[in-house]
Structure 1
Amino acid sequence: MQTFWLIPNLVTSVVSTAGGIIALINPSSLSGSKKVTDGELYYQRMYTARAIPLGILSGILPFYFQGPMTSSVLLAAAAVQAFDVAIGAGKGDQGMVVGASVATILHMTCFFSLK
């Protein structure tokens, strides 16, 4: 793997993990609601449940392992971010679209650099 891509990938993973932690601590931060409903809380907890472990794994594994396990994690992280792009576009959230697009590109770049 080209080591250049490890740091931007790590930064992207840290930002994604931080988003999961923020959603866990302050659920209204993702929805922008003044009063969080049970449905919003449920989906924000689901977001947190995937963002934190996937963010940690996709950021750290490429530093230590470069086999199929790391490739799978990077591909999964890129797929999740690509879906976030679609969700952000549907919601009209430009920041989510840009941030998730950058994350998708960086995870895919690291994935292809493992080959």
Structure 2
Amino acid sequence: MSLWLAALNAAVAMVSVGFAVTGVVAPAALAGSDAVASTRYYAAMYAARAVPLGCAVLIAAFLSISNGAWIVLLAGAGVCQVGDAVIGLWRRIPGQVAGSVLVGTIHLASMTHLLATK
């Protein structure tokens, strides 16, 4: 994968990690309402997926991994973002939808580029 594309994917993955950590530390800031025990629980569950996956994309940007490994990693990250966008639509949170669509598009378009140039 090209350096600029790896850097772009790493940057948007770190944005996802930032939101995941914010969700755990200050869930009311993202939920738009008071945080209850279930809010904290689900924020932690989201972070348990988003933090390792985002960090894996960041680490991959600094390593010389194969395009096949990038394809698998970006497919996972992209599908997770699509799921986040669906949840945002269901909960009517436009910012979550827009952010997830943007990040998911970058991951999945990068994956598609790698598949096309394979």
Which category describes the TM-score, using the shorter chain as reference length? Answer: 0.7 to 0.9
Residue number in structure 1 paired with 2:55: 56
TM-score (normalizing by structure 1): 0.87
Q: Within 1, Cα distance between the matches of 2:58 and 2:101?
A: 17
Count of residues in correspondence between the two structures? 114
How much has 1:8 moved relative to structure 2? 1.8
Q: Is residue 74–residue 108 contact of structure 2 (8 Å, CA) maintained in 1?
A: yes
How much has 1:39 moved relative to structure 2? 1.4
Structure scoring higher RCO (CA < 8 A, sep ≥ 6) equals 1
TM-score (normalizing by structure 2): 0.85
Q: Within 1, Cα distance between the matches of 2:106 and 2:66?
A: 16
Q: Is residue 75–residue 108 contact of structure 2 (8 Å, CA) maintained in 1?
A: yes
| SS of residue matched to 2:66 | coil
Unaligned regions of 5+ residues in structure 2, if any? none
Structure 1 moving runs of 4+ over 4 Å? none
Q: Is residue 7–residue 61 contact of structure 2 (8 Å, CA) maintained in 1?
A: no
RMSD between aligned residues: 1.6
Q: Within 2, Cα distance between the matches of 1:46 and 1:30?
A: 15
Unaligned regions of 5+ residues in structure 1, if any? none
Residue number in structure 1 paired with 2:110: 110
